[in-house]
Structure 1
């Protein structure tokens, strides 16, 4: 798998088509994940950047479960935390999307269930992940030179 940079509009459209439909993310940055034949398999869109409080939202989608490798995961969070200097990433997910809810919790996101967030008949989660929680997670301790007791 290869990462695709500089094609924000195409990757954002791919993610929107799989998640929110005809709406778009507005001004955003996006990273795509390509297979060995350069087909877009997944995308991450960083949107609604608020420099004052240091917040950004992330939306992602894929056509396969095999896209979320350690390298992709590192880039996914290095961009907001290391490059932009965000202190928090926000993720919104349908409560029906059990796979993404499970992954977000495993990554260390804090979940907040919001009734009817996705419509009258669909609850949703707002997940938050701070830079401190990410840097102290099981996924990044080795990168940041920390041990479990740090």
Structure 2
């Protein structure tokens, strides 16, 4: 059974950090997805600039496609665009991670620029952005059922 994990940000952040090669994510919010009790995906949000602004979004999964449900993707995009009232979301992807580039572009992110030697090992990073007006996951049959638990 799949379950969206709203209230365990440290656990989800550790999962994402382990898969993205980060030591940790500080000052973050995270939403995960479990399948039969195991985390299979996580999204970490950082650097929120306030309503009307933006935040940075980090995504990681167990490598399977079983987590890419419309309900989970809707939850992951409704958090920044609806709950936090951001105008944009930013993602950073290594230039040598072609799978992540294809994934971001499939979701609707637009390539906006390049951070030369942006990684600690000197690899360049691509800047991806998505505006709220471009996000196809905000409307549809799943968004009404996604209210966060009290």
Please indicate, yes or no, whether the TM-score normalized by the shorter chain is above 0.5.
yes
The residue aligned with 1:3 is: 4
Give the Cα separation in 1 of the matches to 2:10 and 2:89.
Answer: 21
Runs of 4+ deviating beyond 3 Å: 139-143
CA offsets, 1:54-74, max 9 Å, x none? 111110111132212211111
Give the Cα separation in 2 of the matches to 1:141 and 1:2.
Answer: 20
- Indicate yes or no: 2:135 matched with 1:131: no
After TM superposition, give the deviation of residue 95 of structure 1 in Å.
1.2
Q: How many residues align?
A: 138
Give the Cα separation in 1 of the matches to 2:122 and 2:29.
Answer: 31
Report the CA distance shift for 1:70/1:27 in structure 2 as closer, same or farther (over 3 A). same
- Name whichever of 103-112 and 10-19 sits farther off: 103-112
The residue aligned with 2:32 is: 32
CA offsets, 1:2-59, max 9 Å, x none? 111110111101111111332x221111111101x20111110111111165111110
- Give the TM-score normalised by the residue count of structure 1: 0.83
Report the CA distance shift for 1:54/1:38 in structure 2 as closer, same or farther (over 3 A). same
* Greater relative contact order (Cα < 8 A, sep 6+): 2
For the aligned residues, what is the CA RMSD?
Answer: 1.9
The residue aligned with 1:88 is: 88
The residue aligned with 2:101 is: 101
Give the Cα separation in 2 of the matches to 1:80 and 1:5.
Answer: 14
The residue aligned with 2:17 is: 16
Give the Cα separation in 2 of the matches to 1:11 and 1:141.
Answer: 25
Give the Cα separation in 1 of the matches to 2:90 and 2:18.
Answer: 20
CA offsets, 1:83-110, max 9 Å, x none? 1100010111111111111111122212
Gaps of 5+ in 2: 142-150
- Give the TM-score normalised by the residue count of structure 2: 0.83
